Amino acid sequence: MWTFSEFGLFMRILFIPCRHPHSAWLFKALEESVHSLQRAEDLPDGILLAAQEVFDAVVATALDPQSHSALITGLSALASAAGRAAVVTILDHSTPAERVRILHAGAAACFCLPLSFIELSERLHALHRSREARLVQSQIAQHGLKLDLVSQVLIAGEERVVVTRREGFLLECLIRNLNSPVPRDQLIRYAWPDAEYVDASNVNLAVARLRQKVELRLPWVHIETIKRYGYQLTMSRVATRFTQPSLACTT
């Protein structure tokens, strides 16, 4: 059994089932992951829940003829209610014309049986990271920072802070929660996705090295220790020396 924790994610997922054994299996697989999972009764209930709560992703299954036609008809309403959440549909089959219609209606991805759980995991991972990158951009653009996870570098004007892959993930997690404390266990899930156990001292050491790198070049960027809890990223001022402040997270 694969779990989303293997991919370094923690997500709030809305699951819309149908009356099919594979739908029940998929719900069980998601339930056994470390994520927060909300199950709707049916598509109308899913639309209502999506409008009332905030989710990172909506997984809608339509593996029997009745739910298939209902999803095709109601997908626009679901995508509208879901807002920023990525809507992923899983069908028993579909024609190319139906897939185009589904994507045009607002779905971010459309899968058909047979379904690979690891493929679904990777797609949700990519969609989630892309969405979070856009949110991060709007959060700290005024500080003139750019975090490039492909090149593994934090850029502010002419200053460049080279980081390791793990340090890049730590930075991304802290930036996503700018000015808010991030617990150590959340940092561990984000930066050590494959590890079964990570000692707190390893987290402290990694953050200390990252702090030294960042504050040496960018003294207005602070990684603060929250005693017995975790860490918090703050900015002591708005960068004014950079003429075109921007941020983009590339994954």
Per-residue model confidence (pLDDT) at position 5 = 37
Domain boundaries, the chain: 4-129, 144-235
Same fold, 4-129 and 144-235: no
pLDDT for 226: 95
pLDDT of residue 137: 60
Please tell me the predicted confidence (pLDDT) of residue 124. 85
Supply the pLDDT for residue 151.
Answer: 79
pLDDT value for 90: 94
**Section 80-105 average pLDDT:** 90
Q: Could you tell me the pLDDT band of residue 4, with boundaries at 50, 70 and 90?
A: very low
Average pLDDT over residues 45-69: 89
**What are the helix (H) ranges across 17-84?**
21-31, 43-52, 65-82
What average pLDDT does this structure show over 60-78?
A: 89
Quick check: 2 pLDDT over 60? Answer: no
Q: How confident is the model at residue 58 (pLDDT cuts 50, 70, 90)?
A: very high
- What does each C-alpha distance from 40 to 15, 92, 123, 149, 237 come to in angstroms? 6, 19, 22, 36, 45
Question: What pLDDT, on a 0 to 100 scale, did the predictor assign at position 134?
Answer: 65
What pTM value is reported for the model? 0.55
pLDDT of residue 140: 60
Q: Report, as an integer, the average pLDDT of 72-79.
A: 92
Answer yes or no: is pLDDT of 60 > 60. yes
d(CA 165, CA 157): 21
Domain 4-129 sits in which CATH superfamily?
Response regulator (3.40.50.2300)
- Looking at every residue in the chain, the average pLDDT score rounds to 82
**Residues 24-41: tens digit of each pLDDT:** 989 888 877 756 678 999
Q: What local confidence, expressed as pLDDT, does residue 138 receive?
A: 62
Question: Quick one: which of 13, 32, 3 has its CA closest to 117?
Answer: 3
Judge whether 139 and 248 are in contact, CB under 8 Å.
Answer: no
The tens digit of pLDDT for each residue in 152-208 reads: 888 888 889 999 989 988 988 888 788 899 999 889 887 887 677 899 999 999 999
Average pLDDT over residues 63-85: 89
pLDDT for 152: 85
By CB neighbour count within 10 A (0-12 exposed, 13-18 middle, 19+ buried), where does 5 fall? middle
Instruction: Let me know: does 49 contact 40? Beta carbons within 8 Å.
Output: yes
pLDDT at residue 115, rounded to an integer: 86
pLDDT of residue 243: 36
What CATH number has the domain spanning 144-235? 1.10.10.10
| pLDDT reported for residue 29 | 86
